[in-house]
Amino acid sequence: MLSKGTVTAYDARAMSGVLFRINHSKVQCFLRCTKQYWYRYVSGLAWPPDPGAPAPVVGKGVHRAMKVLCETGEPADGRAELDAYLRMPAHARAGPGTEWHATAFELFEAGCAAHATIESEWSRPELDTWVPSVRRGIAVSARADRADRLRGGRWQLIDWKTGRWELDETVDAQLDIAHLALRTQLRLPREAEVTAVAWNLRSGDRRVRQLTRDDAAATMERMARVAARMQATTEWEALPGPGCVLCEWREQCDAAAEAEAAAAEW
């Protein structure tokens, strides 16, 4: 059995800020709109208040319940976790009696059905680690919702999805980074192959990637190149698009307002 990782000298350097820290959200933000990246990670401005959408509460609650299910194998434990989470006053927008509350439990029941199909010899919920590379000058924050060693010794990681839609290429990039978490935290041997799955509990769709150590190295190289671009960027161009709808800085962003006005003229 591969043991839980201990803090290495590399980890210590990553934590001390020697290495440039990067993660999936940061990369996607930078590639989508450098102005948004500036707002979030460079400006130092206080983040706008949480708009209070119920979907993130549902997503977080279902992920918490799926973690407990993986820990104990008992659906009742996951249900209890979800129930308590959604009854918290801060989560009233998806509380009992709302349609969001019902949706959360439907998603969790779909998760229980998914869990029952996994022929696991050993499992672990929520891998979350740093993958430092001194040579590349980066530390990648990597996480996966669940890891399993399946019968026959194969490895699988899962990222649970609860949304209505995701861009395929964004999901693939997220799985590639989750793969780093699995290889690093569980110290997988070089020859180990990993099945990485984005499993949507709403639709039942599974997006599957078969990944090797070479893929992990390619992911690190790609992260290093994006990190170099991030560090070299001094002009923060706004790129208004469909993603503006979800941007927490939209109210402050002149470019988004101009794009909306131009669209209205057309």
What is the contact surface with ligand SF4 in residues (CB under 6 A)?
A: 33, 35-36, 39, 238-240, 243-244, 247, 249-250, 253, 255-256
CA atoms within 13 Å, Cβ hemisphere of 68: 18
The distance of closest approach from Cβ of residue 239 to ligand SF4 in the complex, given in angstroms and rounded to an integer, is 6
Q: For the CB of residue 38, give the shortest distance to ligand SF4 in the complex, in Å.
A: 8
Please say which residue, 196 or 253, places its beta carbon nearer to ligand SF4: 253
CB of 19 or CB of 247, closer to ligand SF4: 247
Give me the least distance between CB of 249 and ligand SF4, in Å please. 5
30 vs 130, beta carbon nearer ligand SF4: 30
Non-local (6+) Cβ contacts of 222 within 8 A are: none
CA distance to 120, 135, 174, per residue, from 104 (Å)? 25, 44, 23
Nearest to 199 by CA among 224, 230, 180, 178: 178
Q: Which CB atom, from 1 or from 245, has the smaller least distance to ligand SF4?
A: 245
| Rounded least distance, CB 224 to ligand SF4, Å | 25
- The answer to whether 91 touches 61, Cβ cutoff 8 Å, is yes
Give the residue with the Cβ less far from ligand SF4, 182 or 247. 247
Residues 37/26, Cβ–Cβ less than 8 Å:
yes
- Residue 256 Cβ, how far from ligand SF4 at the closest point, in Å? 4
Contact status, residue 105 vs residue 98, Cβ threshold 8 Å: no
Tokens 């949507």 belong to which residue? 200
Tokens 């102005």 map to which residue?
A: 35
